[in-house]
Amino acid sequence: MEKGTDPVPRSVNGYKHGRVPRAVRREQLLQLAEELFMEKGHDGFSIDDLCRAAGVSRPIIYEHFGSKDGIYIACLSRIRAEFEQALLAAAAASRDLASTAQNCANTWFEILERDPRRWSLVYGGATGLVGPLADQLADLRDTTVQQIAGIAARFAPDAGAEQTTAWAHAVSGAGEQLGRWWIRNLEIPRERVVAFYSDFLEAAVVHLIETAAAPPGERAHQAR
């Protein structure tokens, strides 16, 4: 172990140090890295911090993630996947458009209310990230958007892929921005925020349905 690190933990999930399966070690590192990113942010996080927390050397970290940015993307991918699965489950358990909008909106803000720091790690609006890392973050957002587009397509099967994707980007962005606002105004009951967003979602899907098959020249007329 490197100089300055703490003594290694005696075990990880019951496995002795040096005998920890790769998948178990990766999960441990992700959990610890997630806490460090929430505490320090991307810029304040260091691989040495993670080494000390996990009781491992730098080569172990690089073997699993390749770099600091690799750890960051892995953390955000895992959190987004959990959130996406929760939204898909809420949609699958819904019987119609109104209940789908209500259940998805409620799930979205339950996630935020349960752990605002974790939500903010993904959706808090990190700035100053450029290059390949920014591109990878955009890819993660696109994956989430496609999940949302898939939900909308159930109710607007006549909408084209471009139209549905653009719609999904719009409602996803609105949900993120509303979440950022609510984090600063948590005295507002979640039920009121959910009601607002579910009404917005339902109206947005209705608009998508109504305009899906209309020629471009008629869309503006239908919107009025």
Residue 183's domain spans which residues? 77-223
C-alpha 165/C-alpha 142 separation (Å) is 9
Q: Which pLDDT value is given to residue 1?
A: 39
CB neighbourhood size of 117 (10 A): 13
Residues 114 and 149 in one domain: yes
| CA-wise closest residue to 27 among 7, 13, 10, 38 | 13
User: Is 27 among the domain residues?
Assistant: yes
Token digits of residue 202: 């339902």
Residues 41 and 97 in one domain: no
C-alpha 166/C-alpha 135 separation (Å) is 19
The residue-averaged pLDDT of 138-161 equals 96
C-alpha 103/C-alpha 76 separation (Å) is 24
For the chain, what is the domain count? 2
- Computed on alpha carbons and rounded to an integer, the radius of gyration of the chain in Å comes to 21
Q: Are 45 and 37 in contact (CB under 8 A)?
A: yes
Residues 84 and 61 in one domain: no
C-alpha 200/C-alpha 179 separation (Å) is 14
Residues 81 and 60 in one domain: no
Q: What is the CATH number of the domain that holds 167?
A: 1.10.357.10
119-133 confidence digits (pLDDT tens): 999 998 665 667 899
Q: What is the CATH number of the domain that holds 30?
A: 1.10.10.60
H or E stretch at 217:
helix 216-223
What are residue 127's phi and psi, to 5 degrees? -120, 160
| CA-wise closest residue to 77 among 23, 20, 44, 33 | 33
The residue-averaged pLDDT of 162-177 equals 96
Residues 147 and 85 in one domain: yes
For the entire predicted model, the pTM comes to 0.84
36-77 confidence digits (pLDDT tens): 999 999 999 999 999 999 999 999 999 999 999 999 999 999
C-alpha 82/C-alpha 84 separation (Å) is 5
How does residue 17 score in pLDDT terms, banded at 50, 70 and 90? low
Q: Which pLDDT value is given to residue 19?
A: 63
Q: Which pLDDT value is given to residue 130?
A: 74
Residues 170 and 82 in one domain: yes
Classified as helix, coil or strand, 98 is: helix
**What percent of the chain has a predicted confidence (pLDDT) above 70?**
84
Residues 101 and 137 in one domain: yes
User: Is 1 among the domain residues?
Assistant: no
Residues 167 and 57 in one domain: no
| CA-wise closest residue to 105 among 90, 95, 123 | 90
- C-alpha to C-alpha distances, 129 to 23, 69, 166, 176, nearest whole angstrom: 29, 10, 24, 18
Residues 141 and 178 in one domain: yes
User: Is 72 among the domain residues?
Assistant: no
Helices (H) and strands (E) counted in the chain, each on its own, are 10, 2
Residues 54 and 140 in one domain: no
Query: In the predicted model, is pLDDT for residue 170 greater than 50?
Result: yes
Residues 86 and 131 in one domain: yes
Residues 124 and 197 in one domain: yes
